[in-house]
Amino acid sequence: MVKSNLHARSMHLKEKLNNDVRPGKTALIFGAVYILLSGIYIIVSTQYVAAHADFVDAVRFSELQKGLLFVWVTGILMSAFVWIIFTRIDEQQKKIIQQRDALLISERQAIAGILSSSVAHDINNILTTIGMAQHLIENKLPNDPESMTQLSYIRQGYRQLESLTERMIETGKSNIKSVVRNYNFAVILKEALEFSKSHDDVRFAQIVTDCPTFFEMVGFPDLIQQMLFNLFLNSCQARHQGCKIIIRVRSIGENASIEFHDNGPGIPEDQRE
């Protein structure tokens, strides 16, 4: 998610820097102006010497004056030009550093958002099992005050955990600030796969991807990456061991077809609607 954002924004910064500085165009303009001014100076100074110098000593003195004036003027112009160029470069470097720092902060926030959402997802899976076990226990326990008191503690803890996961999910959403843009789905898929491999349940899964190297899409790349991460995690947790996943991505006209297959148990037929 963030890597793709960082890469896209870094390319934007690089293009912006090239457009602002334009070293080739600047060098050509400077060279042309320098040649033009030097030519004008030589022509004017030669005409001046021819008009005012009557003797060899006078010509020698005039040439000395011309040389000193030329060196003095061009030295000032060169110093001013170099100062302007390096000032612009320094300003661009400061902007790049500021924007890079902002990107790093955004990256950390986005990673924290994904981790928060994934942890909340794991907790919700466990809570589902606990909730089913709780109903079974309620039906089998005797209806006495002590048992009801203990069950009330379980219900209270269950509600607190539910509230905690809701806050974690909201925190994750607030830290994932995605915008609609063009992105390469192959890059998003690769990064989601690499990130999911850090989870113990996904680390040893066999995941095969069939996707073009460049597959441009328009949408929310951060949210797509989080969705893929959740799909990997769900499939591997349902299978536990020996999980195999196949992802196929194809273009159908202006739409994209994304197929996700795994060897998990799936939903029982009697529970399908």
**Cα-to-chain-centroid distance, residue 269:** 42
| Rounded CA separation 191/211 (Å) | 13
Cα atoms in the 13 Å half-sphere on the side-chain side of 27 = 3
User: Tens of pLDDT along 205-224?
Assistant: 999 999 999 988 888 787 78
Q: Judging by beta carbons within 10 Å of its beta carbon (0-12, 13-18, 19+), is residue 270 exposed, middle or buried? A: exposed
Q: Residue 252 carries which DSSP code?
A: E
CB atoms within 10 A of CB 197: 14
Strand 181-184 versus strand 216-219 pairing type = antiparallel
**Would the pTM count as exceeding 0.95?**
no
Tell me the domain boundaries of the chain.
Answer: 2-105, 179-273
Q: Is CATH 2.30.110.10 the classification given to domain 179-273?
A: no
Q: Is the pLDDT of residue 249 over 80?
A: yes
Cα–Cα distances in Å, from 14 out to 8, 17, 103, 169, 182?
10, 5, 14, 35, 18
Q: Is the pLDDT of residue 12 over 50?
A: no
CB atoms within 10 A of CB 225: 30
| Rounded CA separation 52/251 (Å) | 82
Residue 35 has a pLDDT of 74
Q: Is the pLDDT of residue 116 over 70?
A: yes
Alpha helix locations (H) across 53-197?
56-140, 145-175, 185-196
Residue 1 has a pLDDT of 39
- Joined together, the tokens standing for residue 162 give 């539910």
| Rounded CA separation 128/158 (Å) | 10
Q: Is the pLDDT of residue 113 over 60?
A: yes
Residue 9 has a pLDDT of 43
Q: How many residues does the chain have?
A: 273
Residue 120 has a pLDDT of 80
Q: Tokens 């165009």 map to which residue? A: 25
| Rounded CA separation 170/164 (Å) | 10
Q: Which helix (H) or strand (E) holds 241?
A: none
User: Tens of pLDDT along 48-92?
Assistant: 666 665 665 666 666 667 767 777 777 787 778 778 888 888 787
- Joined together, the tokens standing for residue 49 give 């010497």
Residue 8 has a pLDDT of 42
| Rounded CA separation 105/109 (Å) | 6
Q: Using 50, 70 and 90 to split pLDDT, how confident is the model at 10?
A: very low
